[in-house]
């Protein structure tokens, strides 16, 4: 039970919050005209997300661990890079286009997450991911108008990710001690 808790805390912090913060920082950099700096944030977030995939301990040997890290990192970096370039370089075509594209990206992300990366998500989660993709693309487009809010939100996500990582590490230590 405790092992599941620290694995969940590490995965939330490393695979969800850090990439979200990296995307927000990249959007902020892109809006200021510093797109390469934003890409660096995305690559760093992708590598952290790849390392977060090792938290469950499923990798049996070094080769499996490297494959897990690289496949998750490439997936996250590709997804976040596309999102960054779409939101920064493509003009605003309206919420319908953002929503439809977000839904398609959500479905593709779910399929890659389940079939290519081998995560065990039931089929009923696909519509939830499609809805989340739709809402995230519409929400990100609306947040682009508030650049300062993006930077503050990114810092809060980084702090939350560190709290989850510390919580996961603390539970892991307690499990090891007791």
Please provide the average confidence, as pLDDT, over all residues in the chain.
83
What's the pLDDT score for residue 68?
81
Give the chain's length: 178
Give residue 148's pLDDT. 63
pLDDT digits (tens, 9 = 90+) for 157-166: 888 888 888 8
Q: Higher model confidence: residue 130 or residue 150?
A: 130
Give per-residue pLDDT as tens, 85-109: 888 877 777 888 889 999 999 999 8
Please determine, for residue 119, whether its predicted confidence score (pLDDT) is greater than 80: no
pLDDT at residue 108, as a whole number: 92
> Per the structure block, which two tokens stand in for 108?
């593709």
Percent of the chain clearing pLDDT 70 (strictly above): 96
As a whole number of angstroms, the distance between CA 122 and CA 92 comes to 34
What are the distances in angstroms from CA 168 to CA 58, 64, 162, 177?
17, 23, 10, 14
Res. 48 pLDDT band, cuts 50 70 90: confident
Separation between Cα atoms, residue 80 and residue 77, nearest integer Å = 5
For the stretch 138-154, pLDDT in tens is 988 887 777 667 677 77
């Amino acid at each position: 039970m405790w092992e599941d808790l620290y694995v969940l805390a590490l995965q939330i912090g490393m695979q969800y919050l850090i990439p979200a913060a990296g995307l927000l920082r990249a959007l902020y950099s892109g809006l200021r005209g510093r797109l390469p700096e934003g890409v660096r944030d995305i690559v760093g977030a992708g590598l952290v997300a790849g390392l977060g995939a090792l938290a469950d301990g499923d990798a049996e040997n070094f080769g499996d661990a490297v494959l897990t890290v690289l496949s998750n990192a490439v997936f996250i970096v590709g997804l976040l890079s596309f999102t960054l370039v779409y939101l920064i370089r493509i003009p605003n075509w309206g919420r319908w286009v953002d929503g439809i594209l977000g839904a398609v990206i959500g479905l593709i992300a779910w399929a890659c997450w389940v079939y290519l990366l081998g995560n065990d998500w039931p089929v009923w989660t696909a519509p939830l991911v499609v809805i989340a993709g739709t809402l995230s693309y519409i929400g990100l487009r609306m947040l682009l108008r508030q650049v300062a809010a993006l930077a503050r939100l990114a810092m809060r996500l980084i702090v939350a990710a560190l709290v989850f990582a510390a919580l996961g590490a603390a539970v892991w230590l307690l499990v090891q001690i007791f």
